[in-house]
Amino acid sequence: MFKMQTWQLIVVATVAIACVGYMSFTIVRMLSRPAEGTAVIRHSTPLETGLLGAGPQAGERAFDGFSYRATARYAGRVRVVVREDTITVAGPRAPRGLYVLWIWLQGLTLALVPPALVLAAVKLDWRALLLALGIFVVSALVMAIGAGVWPGMGETVFVGEGRFDATEVPLSAVRNVTIGDDWARDGLRLVIAPYAPGIDNLAKDYAVCFNAPDGEGRDASWAIHMLSKEDAVALRDLLKEGAAR
């Protein structure tokens, strides 16, 4: 299967270099954008944790939602609290090193599928089609494992310590606030290209998306699926009003 004529090797190598190179460039750019502003990572308060009996005080607005696996690294159920000058998000959060590894594995395995298909086309070899299918299955498994594992890892912190990590961001540092549109921004759409269209249908009218510092010196994308359209509009409006002040 891998014995090729010179022209076949050139074609397959060109496609492989283009796909892997562009994917690598996209991932590096996605994960290394410097923050425009500051944020603080701290322990969540009872309200931010969502503990029973902890209600919002004057000047606070609390929302519950589910975070998509964007570069802010929150996953699963989150509590969002908006105060006069800040927004705080608390919930399960993946460690940066594991998230970066997941993105690279997902992106590179996906990038190898087109070269395998081109190999099948130039060689007319059914085994290359099986190779492409196998690579895609591995990519899908990496996607599924990461999407399922992150919330559970974060919830072990709650079980052990009764709180989550919370990221507190000044509203002045929040940018590009939308609902539904462009939730897989800053390169993420390419990394999860086969799955993004299906998630688009879920995100429409419900997912509040924005850019803000991640608390570690980098800019991150946040996408939080709200429980109702009304909550999505209310959170979007609070973020836009706060950012405009």
> Using CA atoms, how far apart are residues 39 and 89, in angstroms rounded to an integer?
11
Examine the pLDDT at 159 and tell me if it is beyond 70: no
Residue 53 confidence class, pLDDT cut points 50, 70, 90: confident
Arithmetic mean of pLDDT, 29-51 = 91
Decide: residue 183, CB within 10 A, 0-12 exposed, 13-18 middle, 19+ buried: buried
Q: E strands, the chain, where?
A: 40-43, 61-67, 76-82, 86-91, 165-170, 175-179, 207-213, 219-226
pLDDT for the residue numbered 125: 83
Residue 210 within a domain: yes
Establish if 132 belongs to a structural domain: yes
- Where residue 51 falls among pLDDT bands split at 50, 70, 90? confident
Mean pLDDT of the chain: 89
Q: Let me know if residue 1 belongs to a domain.
A: no
pTM of the model: 0.87
Contact between 70 and 142 under an 8 Å Cβ cutoff? The reply is no
21 assigned to some structural domain: yes
pLDDT digits (tens, 9 = 90+) for 103-132: 999 999 999 999 999 998 888 888 888 999
Fill in the DSSP letter of residue 171. Answer: G
Q: What is the CA radius of gyration of the chain?
A: 21
| Sheet with 61-67, edge to edge strand ranges | 40-43, 165-170, 86-91, 76-82, 61-67, 219-226, 207-213, 175-179
- What does the alpha-carbon distance between residue 85 and residue 39 come to, in Å, rounded to a whole number? 12
Range of 164's domain?
A: 6-244
The distance in angstroms from the start CA to the end CA of the chain is 62
What is the rounded CA–CA span in Å between residue 192 and residue 140? 9
| Number of structural domains in the chain | 1
In a domain, 109, yes or no: yes
At 65, give phi and psi (nearest 5°). Answer: -165, -175
| Confidence band for 157, pLDDT divided at 50, 70 and 90 | low
Average pLDDT, integer, range 24-50: 93
**pLDDT value of position 146:** 74
Beta strands per DSSP E along 48-156: 61-67, 76-82, 86-91
- Phi, psi of 169, rounded to the nearest 5 degrees: -120, 130
Question: Does residue 227 fall inside a structural domain?
Answer: yes
